């Protein structure tokens, strides 16, 4: 196998046994980026010199006998996370020239292990989108079919991992932005429990929903990366103080005694029959591995989408109010009054999807409409969270499709925002409830990957990794690579 197609744990074993160097791994991945990046455009910025410098430092560290699980392993960071001295754009003209003076906490934690930074991943602008077509710079293409989307908003990250342009990536997930692109690109991605991973240095979209997590080639790799980035951070007031368990200790192939619920609302009308077939076959595999499986119902699921598209735009409206052309970011310097300059700054600096969500959120928060929209959405959010809580009294995990369809064609949904929003119908309830959830590959339809979600109660990442690892030990969907 080519070096760039290894998993993290495979590459770590080579480094530990001195059968390969970090420099060799990094050179192989950089060569792969040069080969396929013109067709995929998964990066906003490639930091080749930085990567080789990091790799040499990692090799020196390994030579001293000091090797952590991620030492010397090349990775990509979604361009919504601050990287000291390296441009962080959020794929927006508003922040096109923003160079942070500090690292996000998760980036600092990876650097502490000696990870190698390859560059910054393309994304939907300010993480608002489901296809990575909303980037102000270029769309990213799906490595399984370059005429189709990779998902979003972490589409660049998922495409890079799937195509061998990075061993893993960090993404952010506000309504499915790690899991949906992971599913459409045939890789694994986890949204941790809200508060499990620090948001310090993450450029905010919707602060009560955003969460940072890894995209990697399998569940074991996701566990390795989450182990490195999870834990309390005093810089983030929403960070949980709970100790971080050993996630790899949960990676067991036997599922005897595990109770699996399969919610009826995640199947049926609007879902591709091939997606439903693949997920139900995956559930049967879990059953053969010893799990008990029962259908269940989450009737409030149908309210997830409308609740999300009130809460998330409202929080986005507040968070993005800071981009006024005065303090930082793009600033219109043409003629006109202060108010006209501010209007031009926001009109020219933000793309159409970001402006649409700002307007939706501003309306929902405005006098006379707050109670009818935002307050009611928050009340329903509480009900959805309680429904999940009740389900996890019966089940250890819940299993659903990640997306209702496989990857759609570029441009297919850009003119219909509602159709685009519906592609996140399976992932959004998880963010509303703040629970952990992983997407793993479970099949193909017309040559395109299908993803399956595994959910657990808050701080139930160990149950998720247990089920995902057992499934991947029994199947080979996660080992397949796109024929680029």
Residues 129 and 20 in one domain: yes
153 flagged as catalytic: yes
237 flagged as catalytic: no
Residue pair 226/461 in contact by the 8 Å Cβ criterion:
yes
Residues 83 and 113 in one domain: yes
Residues 358 and 438 in one domain: no
Number of domains observed in the structure of the chain: 2
Residues 321 and 226 in one domain: no
Question: Residue 296 is inside which H or E element, if any?
Answer: strand 292-296
pLDDT of amino acid 418 = 85
Q: Model-level pTM greater than 0.95?
A: yes
Q: Which of 21, 91, 177, 198 is catalytic?
A: 177
**Residue 417 — very low, low, confident or very high, per pLDDT cuts 50/70/90?**
confident
Residues 134 and 230 in one domain: yes
**Residue 359 — very low, low, confident or very high, per pLDDT cuts 50/70/90?**
very high
Residues 100 and 63 in one domain: yes
pLDDT of amino acid 270 = 87
pLDDT of amino acid 23 = 98
DSSP assignment letter at 124: S
Residues 98 and 201 in one domain: yes
Does some domain include residue 400?
yes
- Return the SS3 of 119: strand
**Residue 268 — very low, low, confident or very high, per pLDDT cuts 50/70/90?**
confident
**Residue 187 — very low, low, confident or very high, per pLDDT cuts 50/70/90?**
very high
Encode pLDDT of 188-200 as tens digits. 999 999 999 999 9
| Average of per-residue pLDDT across 174-178 | 98
Helix intervals (H) in 186-325: 219-229, 273-288, 304-319
Does some domain include residue 291?
no
**Residue 484 — very low, low, confident or very high, per pLDDT cuts 50/70/90?**
confident
Residues 411 and 333 in one domain: no
Q: What is the CATH number of the domain that holds 414?
A: 3.90.1300.10
For the cut 90, the answer to whether the pLDDT of residue 447 exceeds it is yes
To the nearest whole percent, how much of the chain has pLDDT over 70?
A: 100
239 flagged as catalytic: no
pLDDT of amino acid 336 = 86
Distances (CA, A) of 315 to 174, 185, 348: 11, 29, 21
Question: Residue 206 is inside which H or E element, if any?
Answer: none
Does some domain include residue 130?
yes
Q: Which of 21, 91, 135, 153 is catalytic?
A: 153
Residue pair 47/118 in contact by the 8 Å Cβ criterion:
yes
Does some domain include residue 308?
yes
| Average of per-residue pLDDT across 337-349 | 91
To the nearest whole percent, how much of the chain has pLDDT over 90?
A: 93
Does some domain include residue 282?
no
Residue 356 belongs to domain spanning: 302-376
Residues 338 and 402 in one domain: no
pLDDT of amino acid 160 = 98
Q: Which of 21, 78, 135, 239 is catalytic?
A: 78
More confident site: 417 or 396: 396
Q: Please state, rounded to an integer, the average pLDDT across all residues of the chain.
A: 97
Does some domain include residue 19?
yes
For the cut 90, the answer to whether the pLDDT of residue 28 exceeds it is yes
Does some domain include residue 382?
no
| Average of per-residue pLDDT across 394-409 | 98
Residues 20 and 167 in one domain: yes
Does some domain include residue 351?
yes
Residues 470 and 353 in one domain: no
Residues 131 and 59 in one domain: yes
Encode pLDDT of 199-249 as tens digits. 999 999 999 999 999 999 999 999 999 999 999 999 999 999 999 999 999
- End of a domain among 376, 406, 434? 376
């Amino acid at each position: 196998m080519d070096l760039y197609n290894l998993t993290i744990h495979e590459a770590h074993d080579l480094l530990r046994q001195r059968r390969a160097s970090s420099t060799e791994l990094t050179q192989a991945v950089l060569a792969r980026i040069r080969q396929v990046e013109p067709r995929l455009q998964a990066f906003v910025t490639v930091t080749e010199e930085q990567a080789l410098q990091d790799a040499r430092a990692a090799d020196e560290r390994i030579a001293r006998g000091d090797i952590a699980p991620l030492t010397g392993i090349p990775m990509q960071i979604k361009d919504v996370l601050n990287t000291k001295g390296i441009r962080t754009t959020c794929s927006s003209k508003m922040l096109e020239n923003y160079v942070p003076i500090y690292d996000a906490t998760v980036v600092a934690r990876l650097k502490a292990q000696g990870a190698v930074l390859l560059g910054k991943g393309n994304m939907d602008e300010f993480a608002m989108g489901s296809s990575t077509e909303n980037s102000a710079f270029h769309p990213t293409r799906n490595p399984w079919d370059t005429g189709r989307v990779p998902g979003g908003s972490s589409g660049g990250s998922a495409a890079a991992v799937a195509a061998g342009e990075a061993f893993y990536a960090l993404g952010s997930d506000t309504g499915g932005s790690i899991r949906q692109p992971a599913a459409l690109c045939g890789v694994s991605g986890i949204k941790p429990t809200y508060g499990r991973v620090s948001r310090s240095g993450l450029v905010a979209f919707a602060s009560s929903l955003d969460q940072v997590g890894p995209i990697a080639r399998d569940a074991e790799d996701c566990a390795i990366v989450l182990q490195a980035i999870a834990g309390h951070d005093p810089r983030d007031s929403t960070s949980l103080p709970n100790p971080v368990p050993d996630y790899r200790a949960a990676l067991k192939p036997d599922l005897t005694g595990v109770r699996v619920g399969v919610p009826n609302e995640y199947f049926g009308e609007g879902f591709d029959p091939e997606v439903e077939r693949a997920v139900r076959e995956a559930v049967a595999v879990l059953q053969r591995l010893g799990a008990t499986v029962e259908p269940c119902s989450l009737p409030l699921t149908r309210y997830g989408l409308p609740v999300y598209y009130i809460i998330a735009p409202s929080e986005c409206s507040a968070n993005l109010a800071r981009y006024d052309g005065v303090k930082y970011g793009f600033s219109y310097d043409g003629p006109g009054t202060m108010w006209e300059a501010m209007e031009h700054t926001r009109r020219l600096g933000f793309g159409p999807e970001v402006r649409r969500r700002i307007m939706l959120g501003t309306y929902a928060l405005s006098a006379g409409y707050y109670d009818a929209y935002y307050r009611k959405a928050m009340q329903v959010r509480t009900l959805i969270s309680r429904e999940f809580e009740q389900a996890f009294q019966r089940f250890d995990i819940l299993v659903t499709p990640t997306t209702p369809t496989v990857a759609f064609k570029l441009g297919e949904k850009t003119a219909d925002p509602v159709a685009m929003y519906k592609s996140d119908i399976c992932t959004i309830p998880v963010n509303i409830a703040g629970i952990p959830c992983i997407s793993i590959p479970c099949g193909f339809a017309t040559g395109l990957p299908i993803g399956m979600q595994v959910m657990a109660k808050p701080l139930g990442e160990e149950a998720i990794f247990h089920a995902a690892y057992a499934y991947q030990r029994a199947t080979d969907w996660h080992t397949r690579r796109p024929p680029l």
